[in-house]
Amino acid sequence: MDFLKGFTDEINSAIMNYLTEKEPAKLYDAVKYLPAAGGKRLRPIMAMLACEAAGGERRKAIPFGIALEITHTFTLIHDDIMDRDEERRGMPSVHKKFGEATAILAGDALFAKAFEIVTETESSSDAIKKLVKNLAVMSREICEGQEMDMSFEESDEVSEDDFLLMIEKKTAKMFEHAALGGAIISGADEEKQAALQNYGRNVGMAFQIWDDCLDVIGKGIGKPVGSDIREGKKTLIFIHAMRESDEKERLKEIYGKKDMTDDELNEVISILKRAGSIDYAKDMAMNFSKIARENLKELEESKAREMLEKIAIFAVEREK
Amino acid sequence: MDFLKGFTDEINSAIMNYLTEKEPAKLYDAVKYLPAAGGKRLRPIMAMLACEAAGGERRKAIPFGIALEITHTFTLIHDDIMDRDEERRGMPSVHKKFGEATAILAGDALFAKAFEIVTETESSSDAIKKLVKNLAVMSREICEGQEMDMSFEESDEVSEDDFLLMIEKKTAKMFEHAALGGAIISGADEEKQAALQNYGRNVGMAFQIWDDCLDVIGKGIGKPVGSDIREGKKTLIFIHAMRESDEKERLKEIYGKKDMTDDELNEVISILKRAGSIDYAKDMAMNFSKIARENLKELEESKAREMLEKIAIFAVEREK
């Protein structure tokens, strides 16, 4: 992702200018904790590039992009509370560091801040109204995705369709709205808006499915290889194997088993491989990436379009 | 509040039309649980009356009013989690009924929905942009108020200024924005907007301080008389007594004491009375109510203005 470093730096320095409140100190320390910790900033970058690729000035998409990044952060803070995750980006999670009550509030305050920032977009009031509505609907869909994800934990049978709907809501929608938002801010026509919207969603799907693949084949994505398997997470890979494998019974027995041994972990991976489930997920991720790149063909060639293509490729070539 | 019954019914039937989503069922059951349980709906009513009193059509303020009511509900859901309150309006609180994770999400989804609804206001995009920004800033201030309120619990010395700032943020701001929002939607000039904004804030202050008085003198406001005293809540009454009473030491000893006896509760109330603290709070509430009614004099006489006056009086005459 070296080709994006300049953008990442730009967002990293801009984001803290939107988070200048200080009192009550405990609340705002919690609010700034994750945004200050950096990150790839893919969502704002996508908004900026989409704006430019659609013919606009990319700097105009910065506030909206930051609003998305802040919304993303808010969902991470609340998800960590729900999932009892004590770590995030190698640091204690917000609720671990500031207590659960302040973590809930910090998430709420960030979410409010996101809408505040959108209203500062250098765009027509009509465009801002659209951006606000999209941000609101998207955020609600993220909640739906998280609720589905939690319900999958207690469910024996998760269908592939339900799984794909869940990741679309929980992850892909935000990429969809990053690209669509950039297009709206650029003032592009509806066709270009739709092309970029589709591009964003497809990239988001590719990213999430590839994440699941990396858990099995990768060098770790900030967590030990096989964590999904140890946690019994219903990934696309598992769902495929439970449908196609000849070794379903054994898989069900050891997948997500408490205190799984390394041998058992390797056995699960072997079963997933034999069922073709890892290849199935990889192919699907690559297919989403390919469609995303096709979506871009609605736009004229440009440096920004090229970078959006690279992001779609990066989504399924990265090793962490 | 009989004079408002027609309005309450109107809001009660309108609010559920804005909450029609169904899936995932657990999430949306939790989302609808409190809004369906009714309530006085004072915030939307204030928005409607302010709109009419400023020369607008009151029905146009309904979406914004409902957005405020839904935001209010979202803060109640999250506050109940933070405060470990297991009851709300005589029913199990949302986290008690649906679990904490879904309760956090339901709050988030309601908050998102509030912004979605604001964008549906029958008003210019410029006005909507203002309403969105105000709703966002207000919500962040409510978070600040809640954080201050929580920090008071652990603090030995809470100043009157800090207390008043806390209730302004946590409670009064929403009334302020109900009245201001109605004025913005009416298209009134800035003077009328400011008058109604001040009216709303002052009514909110009167309401909250009167609530604290009712805890000591009232017939209960949905909770047993004296609960603030038993919980050791730093109310205006307590803060005044800790400054003015000759019996500070004894008060400090028994206020908020674990397993407080009825005798001790009565002793606290006597100390508060002797220090003039209850009268002090009552006077302050009544003064806020009086200023609120003066704020209204910037507007022409009307039926709506009269009802706003009545609400300001009701704020400090109600017995529960």
Instruction: Please tell me the distance from the alpha carbon of residue A148 to that of residue B205, in angstroms, as a whole number.
Output: 41
3-state secondary structure chain A: CHHHHHHHHHHHHHHHHHCCCCCCHHHHHHHHHCHHHCCCCHHHHHHHHHHHHCCCCHHHHHHHHHHHHHHHHHHHHHHHHHHCCCEECCEECHHHHHCHHHHHHHHHHHHHHHHHHHCCCCCCHHHHHHHHHHHHHHHHHHHHHHHHHHHHHCCCCCCHHHHHHHHHHHHHHHHHHHHHHHHHHHCCCHHHHHHHHHHHHHHHHHHHHHHHHHHHHCCCCCCCCCHHHHHCCCCHHHHHHHHHCCCHHHHHHHCCCCCCCHHHHHHHHHHHHHCCHHHHHHHHHHHHHHHHHHHHHHCCCCHHHHHHHHHHHHHCCCCC
Kindly identify which residue of chain A lies nearest to residue B82, measuring between CA atoms: A101
Interstrand relation of B91-92 and B87-88 (parallel, antiparallel or unpaired): antiparallel
Q: Helices A125-153 and B125-153 sit at what angle, rounded to 10 degrees?
A: 50
Q: How far apart are the first and last CA of chain A?
A: 11
Residues of A with CB under 8 A from a CB of B: 21, 23-24, 26-27, 78, 81-82, 100-102, 104-109, 111-116, 118-119, 124-126, 128-129, 132-133, 135-137, 139-140, 143-144, 146-148, 150-151
Q: Does A102 contact B144 at a Cβ distance shorter than 8 Å?
A: no
Residues of A in contact with B101 (CB under 8 A): 81-82, 150
Q: Phi first, then psi: what are they for B232, rounded to 5°?
A: 70, 30
Instruction: Please tell me the distance from the alpha carbon of residue A169 to that of residue A80, in angstroms, as a whole number.
Output: 18
**What is the percent of chain A where pLDDT is above 90?**
92
| B107 three-state secondary structure | helix
Q: Phi first, then psi: what are they for B173, rounded to 5°?
A: -55, -35
Confidence band for B222, pLDDT divided at 50, 70 and 90 = low
Instruction: Please tell me the distance from the alpha carbon of residue A247 to that of residue A230, in angstroms, as a whole number.
Output: 18
CB nearest to A151's CB, from B24, B126, B129: B24
Q: Phi first, then psi: what are they for A135, rounded to 5°?
A: -60, -40
**What is the percent of chain A where pLDDT is above 70?**
98
Over range B289-306, report the average pLDDT: 98
**Residue B320 covered by a domain:** no
Domain limits at B22? 2-315
**Residue B40 covered by a domain:** yes
Confidence band for B76, pLDDT divided at 50, 70 and 90 = very high
Q: How far apart are the first and last CA of chain B?
A: 11
DSSP assignment, residue B297? G
In angstroms, the separation between the Cα of residue B234 and the nearest Cα of chain A is: 17
Q: Does B139 contact A81 at a Cβ distance shorter than 8 Å?
A: no
Q: Does B27 contact A133 at a Cβ distance shorter than 8 Å?
A: no
Over range A172-177, report the average pLDDT: 98
Peptide bond before residue A24 is cis, with ω within 30 degrees of 0:
yes
Instruction: State how many domains chain B has.
Output: 1
Listed range (A101-110, A127-136, A208-217, B176-185) with the worst mean pLDDT = A208-217
Tens digits of residue pLDDT in A30-45: 999 999 999 999 999 9
CA A234 vs. chain centroid, Å, equals 17
Q: Does B140 contact A101 at a Cβ distance shorter than 8 Å?
A: no
**Residue A146 covered by a domain:** yes
Confidence band for B65, pLDDT divided at 50, 70 and 90 = very high
Asked whether the predicted pLDDT for residue A221 surpasses 70, the reply is no
**What is the percent of chain B where pLDDT is above 90?**
92
Confidence band for A222, pLDDT divided at 50, 70 and 90 = low
Residues of B in contact with A135 (CB under 8 A): 115
Cα–Cα distances in Å, from A32 out to A71, A74, A76, B111?
13, 11, 13, 21
CB nearest to A115's CB, from B21, B105, B115: B115
What mean pLDDT is reported for chain A?
Answer: 95
Per-residue confidence (pLDDT) for residue A224, from 0 to 100: 65
Asked whether the predicted pLDDT for residue B221 surpasses 70, the reply is no
Over range B104-125, report the average pLDDT: 98
Burial of A294 (0-12, 13-18, 19+ CB in 10 A): middle
Asked whether the predicted pLDDT for residue B310 surpasses 80, the reply is yes
Kindly identify which residue of chain B lies nearest to residue A30, measuring between CA atoms: B147
**Residue B303 covered by a domain:** yes
Asked whether the predicted pLDDT for residue B205 surpasses 70, the reply is yes
**Residue A320 covered by a domain:** no
pTM equals 0.96
Asked whether the predicted pLDDT for residue A257 surpasses 60, the reply is yes
Q: Which of B74, B76, B115, B161 to mutate to test the interface with A (most CBs of A within 10 A)?
A: B115
Asked whether the predicted pLDDT for residue A152 surpasses 80, the reply is yes
Q: Does A147 contact B26 at a Cβ distance shorter than 8 Å?
A: yes
Asked whether the predicted pLDDT for residue B139 surpasses 60, the reply is yes
Per-residue confidence (pLDDT) for residue A320, from 0 to 100: 73
Per-residue confidence (pLDDT) for residue A217, from 0 to 100: 85
Over range A252-269, report the average pLDDT: 94
Residues of A in contact with B144 (CB under 8 A): 23-24, 27, 109
Q: Does A116 contact B140 at a Cβ distance shorter than 8 Å?
A: yes
Per-residue confidence (pLDDT) for residue B219, from 0 to 100: 62
**H-helix segments, chain B:** 5-15, 25-33, 42-53, 62-83, 94-98, 100-118, 125-153, 160-167, 173-186, 190-217, 227-231, 236-244, 248-254, 262-274, 277-295, 303-315
Q: Report the CATH number at residue A92.
A: 1.10.600.10
Contacts 24+ apart (CB under 8 A), B128-131: B128/A125, B128/A129, B128/A132, B129/A119, B129/A125, B129/A128, B129/A129, B129/A132, B130/B184, B131/B64, B131/B181, B131/B184, B131/B185
In angstroms, the separation between the Cα of residue A177 and the nearest Cα of chain B is: 15
In angstroms, the separation between the Cα of residue B163 and the nearest Cα of chain A is: 13
Per-residue confidence (pLDDT) for residue B204, from 0 to 100: 98
In angstroms, the separation between the Cα of residue B127 and the nearest Cα of chain A is: 9
Residues of A in contact with B133 (CB under 8 A): 115-116, 119
Per-residue confidence (pLDDT) for residue A223, from 0 to 100: 58
Q: Does A108 contact B105 at a Cβ distance shorter than 8 Å?
A: no
Per-residue confidence (pLDDT) for residue B1, from 0 to 100: 74
